[in-house]
């Protein structure tokens, strides 16, 4: 009996709580607004000043008006407007992306990228190529032999020369040069940064072949270099005699530079016509260019140093160091963090993290594969991609066949064929993938798309944010239709309102004045002096510099945007003064004085009239809405929140 009594008590308590939380605060027509809805809105920006009861009633009036306007928007079917719907989808996509980035632990990726940016690694490799579409058996056997030789103690350079199939790798004895974060694909970067100096990796299969990587040595990150370059090309078709002539010319230019000739002048003379800007510079990052070029760039120690002539595969070079851009060592630096985040978001590492999330989402979104014959699906897919019509399908497979489903969506063969067709036309790694591997990627992408499209099912806060966003958009749109746009376009109504309320639109003590602003103190002082000497020519004077902004108009005396005291007399000019940030300087020159109040013309008062007329239109519109939707406040519920 006691147990039944406790259970009944719990049920009654729950019912009372639910009833209280859904109490109707007011009705408008057949619609209702609950106490809970009102308090949720009020508590976002509570006003705790003065009389609390009075503030609640004032907010209630605003909230009632808001619900009436929102209902009008739905009545006019503004919620079906394609533009508003597109904006809502974009907003939802942004919210989903933020959540997915958090799930992918972008903060950890930032920390990882920062740590890796603090050192450079001298990288080498053994490489056995696998041509696209060819059998991998022989190539894999060769890389396995290379790996076995390394394990016996043979030198990395010796093994590279013996087993690598790429002539450039053999010529460099496997040396790639120094790399740093973001130089390599993320999967390879993970392998390399996981190696200790002097150690080599396991066999790695890339899209072009098999690799064994070695961490040759490490150094503190050298950052970037800003250089200028003189390039003397030696194309492959040049004879030895022509190459010798280029070498002689390069030496001649170098001697002139040593004697004091300007590097910029040499650039104008010797660089290509479309690239002979004497101030042109190149930013060189670690791992960006061939190691032979980078070695010379990073060997320059001081600003202004000029290299001796050196050769690369493209010809002879002379470079000048313009600036050393050191690596940022402060992980808390906001600008550097933003730069790293931008690189992460365009780099494959974020996609890798998101792919792992897609596998996790499959359970969350209730992924369920359907039963079908895979070989029959592949045959059907081939036929459809090749443009063959199979109206009755192929061995039970047709366009409407369900391949798998999520909680609220079924994915069909038609969806798969569209994906497979686009994948086959795309670049690596999908266009040569087997249908089986491609299907795995299709499932992952479908899961990711579904999760984003239904993100509010898994994050209730997004549903609330979406509602607020949509309500705000609907409110703006309906207000624009009934008030803002209507007021600005109703010229007759505006003029009539102005004529009936002229006394509201008076000039107080005022001046006609010129306000001049600009970012450079010296230029502003110069313009100030010129205008003081010849005020009538202010347009020509201020147009001499595009950074200067000048506005001549009538202003009431308390509207002048300067801190110093303004003397209300003709041709008075203030001293140029800076704003708080110190990046803008302003002065005022007074042309005429109007010490007595005077009537504003309609054109002068137009902005003020529009603002007042909007209020008139809004009051009229709300009156109509309250007739259409009579408002009744439940005083007993209101008293519980006062």
pLDDT at position 3 = 42
pLDDT at position 207 = 85
Question: Is the pLDDT score of 5 beyond 80?
Answer: no
Higher pLDDT, residue 352 or 492:
492
Q: How far apart are CA 245 and CA 258, in angstroms?
A: 20
Average pLDDT for 491-514? 94
How do residues 209-256 score in pLDDT, each as one tens digit? Answer: 999 999 999 999 999 999 999 999 999 999 999 999 999 999 999 999
How do residues 14-64 score in pLDDT, each as one tens digit? Answer: 333 333 446 999 999 999 999 999 998 988 877 666 677 788 888 999 999
Residue 123 and residue 178 in contact, taking contact as beta carbons nearer than 8 Å: yes
Question: Is the pLDDT score of 1 beyond 60?
Answer: no
Confidence of residue 12 (pLDDT cuts 50, 70, 90): very low
Q: Which two tokens stand for residue 477?
A: 């749109």
Confidence of residue 107 (pLDDT cuts 50, 70, 90): confident
Higher pLDDT, residue 22 or 131:
131
**Structure letter (DSSP) for residue 480:** I
How do residues 329-343 score in pLDDT, each as one tens digit? Answer: 999 999 999 999 888
Question: Is the pLDDT score of 106 beyond 60?
Answer: yes
Give the C-alpha distances (Å, rounded to integers) separating 393 from 100, 412, 413, 438, 589: 38, 13, 10, 21, 83
pLDDT at position 432 = 55
Give the range among 64-73, 257-266, 425-434, 458-467 with minimum mean pLDDT: 425-434
Q: Indicate left, alpha or beta for 332 from its phi (over 0: left) and psi (-120 to 50: alpha).
A: alpha
What is the CA angle 471-476-478, rounded to 5?
95
Average pLDDT for 619-641? 94
Question: Is the pLDDT score of 2 beyond 60?
Answer: no
Q: Which helix (H) or strand (E) is 418 found in, with range? A: helix 413-425
Output the average pLDDT for the chain. 89
Q: How far apart are CA 469 and CA 455, in angstroms?
A: 15
Q: Is 50 helix (H, G, I), strand (E, B) or coil?
A: coil
Give the range among 19-33, 257-271, 594-608 with minimum mean pLDDT: 19-33
**Structure letter (DSSP) for residue 571:** T
pLDDT at position 387 = 76
Average pLDDT for 465-493? 93
Confidence of residue 129 (pLDDT cuts 50, 70, 90): very high
Residue 161: φ, ψ to 5°: -65, -35
Question: Is the pLDDT score of 274 beyond 80?
Answer: no
pLDDT at position 8 = 34
Residue 408 and residue 418 in contact, taking contact as beta carbons nearer than 8 Å: no
**Structure letter (DSSP) for residue 306:** B
pLDDT at position 434 = 84
Find out whether the peptide bond into 429 is cis, omega within 30 degrees of 0: yes
Question: Is the pLDDT score of 381 beyond 70?
Answer: yes
pLDDT at position 433 = 63
Residue 491: φ, ψ to 5°: -60, -40
Percent with pLDDT over 70 in the chain: 93
Residue 590 and residue 571 in contact, taking contact as beta carbons nearer than 8 Å: yes
Question: Is the pLDDT score of 611 beyond 50?
Answer: yes
pLDDT at position 121 = 96
Question: Is the pLDDT score of 11 beyond 50?
Answer: no
Question: Is the pLDDT score of 518 beyond 80?
Answer: yes
With tokens 């491609």, the residue in question is 438
How do residues 155-208 score in pLDDT, each as one tens digit? Answer: 999 999 999 999 999 999 999 999 999 999 999 999 999 999 999 999 999 989
Q: How far apart are CA 512 and CA 84, in angstroms?
A: 44
Give the C-alpha distances (Å, rounded to integers) separating 181 from 190, 329, 344, 363, 566: 10, 14, 10, 34, 59
pLDDT at position 6 = 38
pLDDT at position 232 = 94
Residue 170 and residue 164 in contact, taking contact as beta carbons nearer than 8 Å: yes
């Amino acid at each position: 009996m006691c147990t039944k009594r406790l259970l009944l008590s719990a049920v009654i308590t729950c019912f009372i709580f639910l009833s209280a939380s859904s109490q109707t605060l007011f009705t408008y027509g057949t619609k209702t607004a609950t106490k809970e809805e009102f308090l949720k809105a009020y508590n976002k920006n509570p006003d705790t000043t003065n009389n609390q009861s009075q503030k609640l009633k004032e907010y209630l009036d605003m909230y009632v008006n808001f619900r009436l306007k929102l209902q009008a928007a739905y009545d006019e079917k503004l919620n079906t407007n394609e533009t508003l719907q597109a904006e809502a989808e974009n907003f939802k996509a942004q919210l989903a992306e933020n959540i997915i980035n958090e799930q992918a632990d972008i903060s950890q990726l930032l920390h990882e990228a920062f740590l890796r940016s603090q050192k450079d690694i001298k990288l080498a490799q053994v490489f056995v190529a696998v041509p696209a579409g060819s059998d991998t058996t022989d190539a894999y056997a060769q890389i396995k032999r290379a790996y076995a030789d390394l394990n016996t103690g043979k030198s990395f350079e010796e093994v590279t020369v013996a087993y690598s199939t790429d002539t450039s790798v053999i010529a460099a004895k496997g040396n790639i040069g120094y790399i740093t974060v973001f130089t390599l694909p993320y999967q390879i970067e993970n392998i390399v940064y996981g190696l200790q100096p002097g150690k080599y990796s396991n066999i790695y299969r890339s899209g072009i072949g098999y690799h064994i990587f070695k961490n040759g040595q490490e150094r503190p990150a050298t950052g970037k270099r800003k250089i200028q370059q003189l390039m003397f090309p030696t194309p492959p078709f040049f004879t030895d005699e022509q190459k010798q002539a280029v070498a002689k010319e390069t030496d001649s230019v170098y001697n002139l530079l040593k004697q004091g000739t300007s590097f910029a002048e040499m650039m104008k003379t010797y660089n290509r016509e479309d690239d002979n800007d004497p101030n042109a510079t190149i930013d060189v990052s670690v791992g960006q260019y061939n190691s032979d070029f980078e070695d010379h760039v990073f060997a320059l120690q001081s600003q202004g140093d000029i290299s001796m002539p050196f050769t690369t595969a493209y010809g002879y070079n002379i470079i000048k160091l313009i600036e050393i851009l050191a690596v940022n060592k402060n992980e808390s630096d906001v600008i550097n963090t933003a730069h790293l985040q931008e690189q992460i978001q365009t780099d494959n590492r974020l996609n890798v993290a998101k792919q792992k999330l897609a596998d996790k989402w499959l359970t969350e979104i209730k992924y369920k594969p359907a039963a079908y014959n895979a070989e029959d699906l592949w045959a059907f897919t081939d036929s459809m991609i090749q443009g063959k019509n199979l109206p009755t399908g192929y061995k039970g497979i047709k366009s409407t066949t369900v391949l798998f489903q999520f909680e609220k969506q079924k994915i069909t063969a038609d969806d798969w064929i569209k994906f497979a067709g686009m994948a086959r036309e795309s670049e690596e790694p999908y266009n040569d993938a087997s249908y089986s591997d491609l299907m795995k990627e299709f499932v992952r992408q479908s899961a990711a798309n579904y999760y984003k499209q239904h993100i509010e099912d898994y994050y209730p806060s997004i549903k609330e944010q979406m509602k607020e966003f949509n309500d705000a958009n609907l409110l703006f749109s309906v207000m624009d239709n009934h008030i803002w746009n209507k007021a600005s376009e109703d010229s007759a109504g505006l003029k009539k309102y102005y004529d009936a309320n002229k006394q509201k639109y008076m000039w107080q003590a005022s001046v006609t004045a010129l306000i001049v602003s600009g970012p450079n103190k010296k230029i502003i002082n110069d313009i100030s002096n010129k205008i003081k000497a010849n005020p009538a020519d202010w347009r020509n004077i201020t147009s001499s510099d595009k950074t200067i902004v000048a506005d001549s108009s009538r202003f009431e005396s308390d509207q002048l945007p300067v801190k110093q005291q303004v003397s209300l007399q003709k041709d008075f000019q203030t001293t140029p003064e800076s704003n708080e940030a110190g990046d803008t300087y302003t002065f005022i020159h007074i042309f005429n004085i109007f010490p007595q109040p005077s009537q504003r013309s309609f054109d002068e008062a137009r902005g003020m009239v529009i603002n007042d007329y909007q209020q008139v239109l809004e009051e009229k519109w709300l009156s109509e809405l309250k007739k259409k939707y009579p408002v009744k406040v439940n005083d007993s519920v209101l008293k519980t929140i006062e």
